[in-house]
Structure 1
């Protein structure tokens, strides 16, 4: 056998994503390049590693065993690289984060300077809905999770980074003269929801339930960006985190609608499993956050106080 580290990396990513297309996206390669590397790797084995049924890729039992071995080898190669950097006096290693989807508007600003100061540190960041983010934390797959709602069924420690504010949002054609008319608007205008498992969806459902709101129609969309564009187009209104609306509020495409019980205030938190032994990189990042978070918040997110 004469397989390469690159082939191992491609094969392992395919087994993770169950898709050549998704593997290509995550590896920043073309789809044909991934297909060629996967085929060249698989040709070195007498037993199939993957199989295509219909249009779906499946990993065989033997393929799963090879994937585990590939992951071990790749981790050992990374360890060699990290030890080399450490020997040179540089902080090195991989920082692994699971981030709820709205958190993508926040966490990059808390990562930027840290990564600039520590060029040998690698970042793995998975952006997903709250349910999947919490699952990754429970399974100890990440160093930290970044959430606005703290899970109650696991023991964690946390660091507050920033206030999270959820507001009722409509496009510029929505007219509200008094707060008393908000209930009429909510009754006659479709409400746009995030998908099940989203923290924003949970907050919105709680608000609707507490205020006994009966909507004309509920429309479900799978991302904040999709909800935002739907509101701009006039499809309906929604309760959304203000953090991702700055440009649209500034250019008057969207506006906040005053309503009883709003805004909903939570906090953006970095959370980790209680008692977890942090890597040097994770410890350094947490130390950086504790030292710099107030300055970052002031410099980047002070605009939120205007809404």
Structure 2
């Protein structure tokens, strides 16, 4: 393995994933409460470590390069493994932690928040996300 890859930080990968998801340095900066130059600097440092460009601009659209797609797959794997580790450690402590995402049909939006509130009281370490959809 190249030694330069060992110098990548998890924070750089978080910023990189946000830019990939939003396809915008500015929106990623806003989402992560950073400045746009700070995001640009982290991406530039990541590109230096990788030795290849990660993004291409065509007009005003941001596209991922082949290197970015490979890095995105690897970083999602890394964060998935860290999430799994977090869950295992929580299990060892006997507490429930992590994220619970629930999508419900629009008629359920009236009673599900009450269930979420009760669940949150029992398990305060769990982050809850509710999405209401039409059928």
Short-chain TM bin: 0.7 to 0.9
Cα offset, 1:119, TM superposition? 2.7
The 5 A counterparts of 1:21-32 are 21-32=26-37
Give the 3 Å change call, closer, same or farther, for CA 73–124 of structure 1 in structure 2. Answer: farther
1:183-208 C-alpha deviation (Å, 9 max, x unpaired): xxxxxxxxxxxxxxxxxxxxxxxxxx
2:116 alignment partner in structure 1: 111
- Distance (Å, rounded) in 2 between the aligned partners of 1:36 and 1:106: 46
The equivalent position to 1:16 in structure 2, one of 8, 14, 21, is: 21
- Pairwise CA RMSD: 3.0
Q: TM-score, normalised by structure 1?
A: 0.36
Give the TM-score taking structure 2 as reference length: 0.75
1:1-307 to 2 correspondences below 5 Å = 1=4, 2-97=7-102, 110-123=115-128, 146-147=132-133, 149-150=134-135
What are structure 2's unaligned runs of at least 5 residues? none
CA–CA distance in structure 1, aligned partners of residues 81 and 34 of structure 2 = 23
Aligned pair count? 129
Secondary structure of 1:52's aligned partner: strand
C-alpha distance in 1, partners of 2:98/2:81? Answer: 12
Question: Based on CA coordinates, which of the two structures has the bigger radius of gyration?
Answer: 1
The Cα of 1:55 is off from its aligned counterpart by 2.4
- Distance in 1 between residues matched to 2:114 and 2:38, nearest whole Å: 33
More strand by share: 1
Bigger proportion of residues as helix: 2
Q: Is the 8 A contact 1:85 1:120 kept in 2?
A: no
- Per-residue deviation, residues 274-304 of structure 1 (Å, max 9, x unmatched): xxxxxxxxxxxxxxxxxxxxxxxxxxxxxxx
Displacement after TM superposition at 1:57 (Å): 1.5
- Hey, what's the Cα distance between the residues in 2 that align with 1:104 and 1:63? 39
Cα distance in 2 for partners of 1:121, 1:34 equals: 29
Residue segments in structure 1 that go unaligned for 5+ positions in a row: 126-144, 151-307
